[in-house]
């Protein structure tokens, strides 16, 4: 398969692969020559995993894989009963490191090996760092992580540390950490694995492939938006399938932001193509991002697919997290619950039609952020070790 990097702003093409942005400053994307693709998979719902779609992924060597992808797509029975809309939940929290980032990392870390890099680096609200550390361990690469100190959920920090990354907390938010890691990666020759890396996003487009593989094309895909890579990647996946004539429509890409970290929502409601950076704050620390690097790609995905962007409060996020856990049996972290919070809100506002089929992506596992759970649910009751004491609190 042939591919190039192409600037989404000025259309300039590059044969070089070790780039993240164009000379004009624009974001790059991988442009696959679809005519050169030897399609060797079938959409038959079998063997779902990222590398089922290797013929559409721009790598040349055997992948560094931890068997990512193949995540379950649950029918949301409770939500159907409450809202009378058919919804599915694609639980990306069931990837090897507990988030969708693994789909991108298997491709990104494989590319790092192809490019003979010795070290990888990222800024992160947590999940990217956990995933990168895990795949770097598998690939025997050094891993460097910059985090917003004190603002990353405990499970994610634990993962990055245990998988052997050098973890550095900075006194600043994610946006600052990203600016710093871009600079230091440039200086030190680290391979940058944030979603500004176009190859990482290629892995994430397999979410679209798996959805089509299992249920065909839904009317809408709803997902949380932080740095805005995932919504761009999933849209690209659907678009490639349409260009290949494997599907004949593209779902309405529907982004959900937290009210306290909503620059893309604001751009959308003002019909703009650019965002204004802001200082972010939300319980959903994974999407606590005020200057999303992929904003242009994301807004383009939303406008082109006739989707939309909505925002939800921390309270709506927490409610959705509880509903998912207690009524659907799906344990997710707060940012992930934003997708379902947005879905509920849009149905209640009449902006999602009753006859739509909707897929909500839940991006990370409940266990990522145990501290928030204890804040919401409280600690377990403690009693004396005898039957009477237990009976009293039943």
* Cα 248 off chain centre by: 25
- How many residues contact ligand F0G, by CB under 6 A? 21
Instruction: Provide, rounded to whole angstroms, the least separation between the CB of residue 393 and ligand F0G.
Output: 34
> What string marks each residue from 317 to 346 as x (binds ligand F0G by CB under 6 A) or -?
----------------x-xx----------
Tokens 């600079």 locate to 183
Please tell me whether residue 254 binds ligand F0G under the rule CB under 6 A. Answer: no
User: Which of 56, 139, 225, 352 touches ligand F0G (CB under 6 A)?
Assistant: 225
Nearer to ligand F0G, 32 or 366 (CB): 366
27: contact with ligand F0G by CB under 6 A: no
- Report the nearest approach of ligand F0G to the CB of residue 386 (Å): 42
From 75-83, 219-227, 242-250, 340-348, span contacting ligand F0G (CB under 6 A): 219-227
Q: Give min distance, CB of 2 to ligand F0G, in A.
A: 27
Looking at the DSSP assignment, which residues form a beta bridge with residue 145? Answer: 122, 167
Closest CB 377 distance from ligand F0G, rounded Å: 19
How far apart, in whole angstroms, are the C-alpha atoms of residue 263 and residue 275? 6
Report the nearest approach of ligand F0G to the CB of residue 304 (Å).
Answer: 17
Q: For residues 72 and 53, what is the distance between their CA atoms, to the nearest angstrom?
A: 17
Kindly state the smallest distance separating residue 378's Cβ from ligand F0G, in Å.
24
Interface map 87-126 toward ligand F0G (x if CB under 6 A): ------------x------------------------xxx
C-alpha dihedral sign at 218, 32, 275, 288: positive
- Beta strands 220-224 and 357-362, pairing class: parallel
Q: Which DSSP category does 308 fall into?
A: E
Nearer Cβ to ligand F0G, position 318 or 336? 336
Binding mask 341-380 for ligand F0G (x = CB under 6 A): ----------------------xx----------------
- Shortest distance, position 286 Cβ to ligand F0G, whole Å: 3
Contact range with ligand F0G by CB under 6 A, out of 57-65, 68-76, 220-228, 348-356? 220-228
Kindly tell me which residue out of 85, 153, 228, 258 binds ligand F0G, with binding defined by CB under 6 A.
228
- Binds ligand F0G (CB under 6 A): choice among 58, 148, 229, 331: 229
- Contacts (Cβ under 8 Å, ≥6 apart) of 279: 173, 290
Three-state secondary structure call for residue 158: helix
Minimal distance, residue 214 CB to ligand F0G, in Å: 21
**Contact status: 127 vs ligand F0G (CB under 6 A):** yes
Of 195, 146, 227, the closest CA to residue 20 belongs to: 195
Residue 38 CB-density burial (10 A; 0-12 exposed, 13-18 middle, 19+ buried): exposed
Residues 287-306 that bind ligand F0G (CB under 6 A): 287
Strand positions, DSSP E, the chain: 3-7, 13-14, 28-32, 73-75, 86-91, 119-123, 142-148, 166-170, 191-192, 220-224, 252-258, 308-312, 357-362
Cα–Cα distances in angstroms (integers) from residue 4 to residues 27, 30, 52, 191, 219, in the given order: 13, 6, 22, 18, 30
CA 53 to each of CA 18, 43, 224: distance values in angstroms, whole numbers, following the listed order: 23, 10, 24
The total number of residues written for the chain in this structure? 394
Q: Residue 65 or residue 230: which is nearer to ligand F0G going by CB? A: 230
Which lies closer to ligand F0G via its Cβ, residue 34 or residue 72? 72
Query: Order of strands, edge to edge, in the sheet holding 28-32?
Result: 13-14, 3-7, 28-32
Does residue 113 contact residue 61 with C-beta atoms inside 8 Å? yes
With a CB cutoff of 8 Å and minimum separation 6, the contacts of 85 are 79, 347, 352, 353, 354, 356, 358
Place of tokens 């990888």: 120
Interface map 181-210 toward ligand F0G (x if CB under 6 A) = --------------x---------------
**Where does this chain bind ligand F0G (CB under 6 A)?**
99, 124-128, 195, 224-230, 286-287, 333, 335-336, 363-364
């Amino acid at each position: 398969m042939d591919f190039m990097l192409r600037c989404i702003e000025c259309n300039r093409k590059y044969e070089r692969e070790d780039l993240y942005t164009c000379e004009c400053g624009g974001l790059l994307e991988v442009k696959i020559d679809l005519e050169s693709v030897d399609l060797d998979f079938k959409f038959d719902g079998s063997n779902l995993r990222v590398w089922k779609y290797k013929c559409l992924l721009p790598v040349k060597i055997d992948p560094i894989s931890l068997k990512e992808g193949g995540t379950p797509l649950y029918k949301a029975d409770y939500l159907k009963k409450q809202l009378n809309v058919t919804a599915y939940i694609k639980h990306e929290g069931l990837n090897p490191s507990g988030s969708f980032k693994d789909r991108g990392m298997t491709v990104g870390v494989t590319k790092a090996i192809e490019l003979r890099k010795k070290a990888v680096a990222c800024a992160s609200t947590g999940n990217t760092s956990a995933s990168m550390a895990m795949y770097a361990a598998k690939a025997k690469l050094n891993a460097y992580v910059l985090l917003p100190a004190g603002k990353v959920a405990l499970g994610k920090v634990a993962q990055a540390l245990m998988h052997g990354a050098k973890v550095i907390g900075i006194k600043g938010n994610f946006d600052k950490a990203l600016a710093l890691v871009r600079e230091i990666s440039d200086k030190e020759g680290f391979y940058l694995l944030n979603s500004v890396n176009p190859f990482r996003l290629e892995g994430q487009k397999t979410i679209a492939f798996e959805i089509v593989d299992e249920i065909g094309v839904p009317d809408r895909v709803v997902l949380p938006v932080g740095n805005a890579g995932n919504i761009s990647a999933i849209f690209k996946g659907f678009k490639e399938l349409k260009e290949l004539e494997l599907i004949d429509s593209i779902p309405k890409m529907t982004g959900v932001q937290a009210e306290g970290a909503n620059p893309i929502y604001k751009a959308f409601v003002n019909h703009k193509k650019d965002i204004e950076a802001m200082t972010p704050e939300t319980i959903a620390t994974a999407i606590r991002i005020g200057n999303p690097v992929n904003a242009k790609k994301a807004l383009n995905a939303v406008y082109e697919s006739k989707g939309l962007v909505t925002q939800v409060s921390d309270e709506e996020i927490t409610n959705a997290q509880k509903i998912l856990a207690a009524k659907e049996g799906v344990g997710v972290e707060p940012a992930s619950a934003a997708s379902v919070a947005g879905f509920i809100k849009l149905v209640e506002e009449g902006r999602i039609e009753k006859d739509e089929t909707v897929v909500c992506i839940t991006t990370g596992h409940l266990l990522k952020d145990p501290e928030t759970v204890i804040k919401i649910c409280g600690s377990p009751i403690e009693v004396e070790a005898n039957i009477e004491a237990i009976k009293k609190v039943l």
